[in-house]
A and B are shown apart, each in its own frame.
Chain A
């Protein structure tokens, strides 16, 4: 129970304010809840993320760690105070122009830390910027553009195209169309969008055991003890199916567990009431009897004999994937040079800085869900099943989403708030705590991989054999996607005539593993790149040249039998890296020859490829673009921007297609009542698939508009919709046309579904319409006595088809590299042991080296203006490049990641023993 409220007077952004709250209330809560200053974000409430950074008497502090009593009489500055007279401060402008804000959830904290630094030190060095901003985590940007932005303040190196002319938006460095609210703090994320009417608060009570039977007892006494408790919802309260899951056949996850909880952190019931009551009820107060059951670990499940967790998954095998081309066994047996490896990876947490948050309200026979998400349309359909209503009765309004990376593709709190709001008839909110988010939401699949590859004496690959077991945890989630995607990519972006690649997704009582940037391909890449290095060494060929020799080229067939006719830019990537590779390798070798101390340097190279869009499945996007009677041009995009930038890309593409400047296009996004289904933000598909829908919508609108005035196809359209057709200047009479539900009088529609085919029993066919390719170099310095690894440089060459917005493409690459670095060196989630950002380490601003990005534009004819996707490709090559560099530096090949200092040191000791 909290202390009685007392009066607290202090200054906020130059204004005197008073708050009547309990003195120990976190300043962050007072700013947000009492003063409505939701620009200050809460990512952890524990000092670990820095999203809540504000200035207290001019010094940066975590507002989540300051009792409001300590603010008494002092000056607090928040992000809202940076803007003066409605104008962005130079620092905010710099963030916008440099693309330093992606999802924007960390941006207020970054800005305040930077403001503190710059006030003390107007011309900081790069090292000083790192020190000054070291307390704020960003999961999206890879930090480098933030560093650039802070260093640029006061200099005028503006890298932007603020207002590209009509037809020139694609390819321009347009600042984010939704960027201004991200740098002012005005953007509304899940926890910022909660109306007072949704004061009823929901908190899940979760299974504290890995695996348990349970019974919920008589709840009357709980209600008596806590009169503010409005309801305790259990499985019985779910009106429709108490089941959800990504695949129509994989709906195996209950909203509330029924008698058996298969994982730690699984919701067994939910408490609904006023916030204070809900916070005061401890899990132990709820009458639940637990009977812990033996956990089904990955080892136990693989060994067989563990009890089946689901009837439909005998032997705990959820599904298998396979790809057979030629005869890998025979080719391996005959081959001159062979190499084999086993790779083991752990759970990786998405660690988006925004924990899940949102609210639901019932409006008659409809329900509205306002929450952060990556996939409004799938949410809508799943909520409909859970409530037993039609999808049309569900409206999903995505808030700004503070990072997702795959982790917000699955439902989290939506089913619970939907059930609560639906059954109680009152709006209900829920905000996950960081530990709750980490304990209950999906992770990257831990993998156990064994792989073997062979080449001939000239270094040409002849065979690749791969098997990967993936720990998919307690529920199916995206397990099948991983099992299907991995075999296609298992051998890497190389010509290999004989392939046998198999995979299995295995159920355990661990946290469900779902979608995480790359769907299993990053794990597989660690194996294929280790083998490329090993074979290159055996064949006596330079590691980069070995890859170039075997790289897929235009006209090659992949192992699935798909002939790649266009946009295969891997060789161009390697060509671009070659001079830097040679120079860096030589530098490292010279350093090591001269080294007396414990430091050794090394350089690694890795290649990747990645099929854009869903594997062999229809995954269409639809978009509309309309013109209202007053001439307002609106693009209706159901593609959710989780920071990756689709809100900007779609506008750039559609504007060019229509033939107007990008700033003439207004964007409505996400809302399932106003947009059309643009699929989910995953599989790096939005630029390629939804971008095409945006292009087609723009082109359709252009045709219809020109037809209104009988203008020819080459006519130009001015932003005020005056049409110049040859010598003729006309204005369509929009006022006489009837508006649709959105108020538009002319509407263009675009639909695109990437052409793929089903795969046969051997996994052969056309799984993806196009592929992204990349090669990256990593330079590292290893302290061989401590096993610590410092990445000193990354050079990334990516074939993106066409960079619709180069700043954003670079931003995606930087962010992916940061996550790849985390995967390689520090990130491993252990259920129940590191469910916070204190013990679960993600890279900080000081861990990311300078990154050079080289964009290769080998256009994809069916991509919008040649574009492919980059979201996931960004990450995949990084970990193998770093592991290769460690090998070069210290002579040890780590195949268990993350390569934490203890593992690296153990490998070094084992080698010298």
Chain B
């Protein structure tokens, strides 16, 4: 028979996970839809009563987003322009109901190719903080999300936070999402971009990530390299920059369309960085 645990402390949670792995549960917005009409026999670990997992903390090194921070928390937080892309994504996740319950950690751990958080984290060069009774470790987001619904999380581990380092200069971020309707829509393609500028207003470093066009959202290194020293300009984007993408045909769109739309969205993301 399944057992449900809702600990009030992280230590308790990790102890439980080390005793026997459980299915973590946060906002439930990915969990329950996968269980319509079935009630699987599983042990659950509800993370929502653990205060340290929720909230956004800032220090001189950067920001720490607790894994159980909701999308609404992100929308309502005071954050610098570095997070404009993340905020834009938060406003477009599901509807308000989903934003109120769904969490950053759940979105990342669910590892959907269309997770709107992931390209943002890639563009933010974020790190995933994992904890288990045996200790903590961090992984770059790119090393954490391994494939469609696959992550590097060990069965006894929890994601505790996502961390973003403070950029060395002024930064701007943007996120553009393409869906077939206005609300409640899973992305056909989405693009997140972050640029850090030098004193002259030229790009010192840029990261551009595309989602829903490969099993895991990916960055575009060729483009990122070309942007350095430039001002954001859509004309800098070349079709060959999209080589890392491997889109598929599905009910939301064809592979050819995804590739074509991704090019347009990457250009628009750059235009967004210029604005």
Q: Which residues of A contact B (CB under 8 A)?
A: 1-4, 6, 22-24, 26, 44-48, 50, 53, 56, 59-62, 64-67, 69-70, 113, 116, 130-132, 134-137, 279-280, 282, 433-436, 598, 785-788, 825-826, 828, 830, 833-834, 836, 838-839, 841, 843-847, 900-902, 905-906, 909
Contact = CB atoms under 8 A, between A and B. Distances in A.
Contacts of A906: 254, 256-257
Given A53-B97, A844-B183, 17 more contacts: A1-B1, A2-B1, A47-B97, A59-B100, A61-B101, A65-B28, A69-B4, A130-B183, A132-B96, A135-B95, A435-B36, A598-B264, A836-B33, A844-B181, A844-B182, A846-B183, A905-B257
A1 B180 CA distance: 38
Contact of A135 (B1, B32, B94, B264): B94
A276 to B, nearest CB: 9
Nearest to A901: B180
A221 B4 CA distance: 31
A152 B6 CA distance: 43
A847 B253 contact: no
Contact of B32 (A4, A60, A64): A64
Contacts of B251: 828, 830, 833-834, 839
Interface centre among B4, B25, B27, B94 (most CB of A within 10 A): B4
Interface in B1-54: 1-4, 6, 25, 27-29, 31-33, 36-39, 41, 44, 46, 48
Given A826-B180, A901-B178, A46 B32 contact: yes
A282 B2 CA distance: 17
Contact of A433 (B36, B182, B186, B188): B36
Interface in B148-170: none
B118 to A, nearest CB: 18
Interface string B91-105: 100111110110000
A135 B183 CA distance: 7
B246 interface: no
Contacts of B79: none
A847 B182 CA distance: 6
B39 A786 contact: no
A844 B28 contact: no
Contacts of B33: 45-48, 65, 836, 838
A137 B4 CA distance: 32
20 contacts: A45-B32, A47-B33, A60-B96, A62-B101, A65-B29, A70-B48, A131-B96, A134-B183, A135-B95, A279-B38, A279-B39, A282-B38, A433-B36, A787-B257, A830-B251, A834-B251, A839-B252, A846-B183, A847-B183, A902-B253
B77 interface: no
Contact of B6 (A23, A48, A847): A23
A43 to B, nearest CB: 11
B225 interface: no
Contact of A113 (B46, B94, B96, B264): B96
Contacts of B101: 61-62, 65-66
Contacts of B31: 65
B97 A841 contact: no
A46 B36 contact: yes
A431 to B, nearest CB: 10
Contacts of A825: 180
A24 B2 contact: yes
Contact of A65 (B1, B4, B32, B38): B32
Q: Which 8 pairs, one residue from A and one from B, show the smallest C-beta to C-beta distance?
A: A135-B95, A846-B182, A134-B183, A902-B257, A46-B33, A23-B4, A433-B37, A844-B183
A6 B33 CA distance: 23
Interface residues of B, number: 48
Contacts of B4: 3, 6, 22-24, 67, 69
B1 A134 contact: no
B78 to A, nearest CB: 18
Given A847-B181, A905-B260, A136 B95 contact: yes
B184 interface: yes
Contacts of B48: 70
B120 to A, nearest CB: 20
Nearest to A68: B4
Given A46-B32, A901-B188, A846 B6 contact: no
Contacts of B183: 130, 134-135, 844-847
Nearest to B183: A134
A280 B40 CA distance: 8
A798 B107 CA distance: 47
Contacts of B69: none
Contacts of A56: 100
Interface centre among A24, A70, A785 (most CB of B within 10 A): A24
A785 B265 CA distance: 9
Contacts of A433: 36-37
A788 B189 CA distance: 13
A345 to B, nearest CB: 16
Nearest to B94: A135
B253 A900 contact: yes
Contacts of B264: 598, 785-786
Contacts of B254: 902, 906
Interface centre among B31, B98, B256 (most CB of A within 10 A): B98
A785 B98 CA distance: 30
B39 A2 contact: yes
B72 interface: yes
Nearest to A2: B39
Contacts of B91: 131
B133 interface: no
B248 interface: no
Contact of B97 (A2, A135, A788, A846): A135
Contacts of B2: 1-3, 24
Given A26-B32, A134-B96, A841 B181 contact: yes
A825 B3 CA distance: 45
B95 A836 contact: no
B236 interface: no
A843 B36 CA distance: 23
B72 A59 contact: yes
Contacts of A836: 33, 36
A65 B99 CA distance: 12
A429 B39 CA distance: 19
B261 interface: yes
Nearest to A436: B37
B185 interface: yes
Given A135-B184, A435-B37, A61 B3 contact: no
Contacts of A841: 180-181, 185
Nearest to B178: A786
Given A65-B29, A113-B97, A846 B188 contact: no
Nearest to B28: A65
Contacts of A53: 97
A839 to B, nearest CB: 5
Given A66-B101, A844-B184, A845-B183, A134 B6 contact: no
Contact of B184 (A67, A113, A130, A134): A134
Contact of B36 (A4, A62, A132, A434): A434
A886 B1 CA distance: 56
Interface centre among B28, B31, B37, B95 (most CB of A within 10 A): B95
A826 B180 CA distance: 7
B82 to A, nearest CB: 24
Given A834-B251, A841-B180, A786 B261 contact: yes
Nearest to B186: A838
Interface in B204-262: 251-254, 256-257, 260-261
Given A69-B46, A132-B96, A3 B1 contact: yes
A546 B206 CA distance: 55
Contacts of A844: 181-185
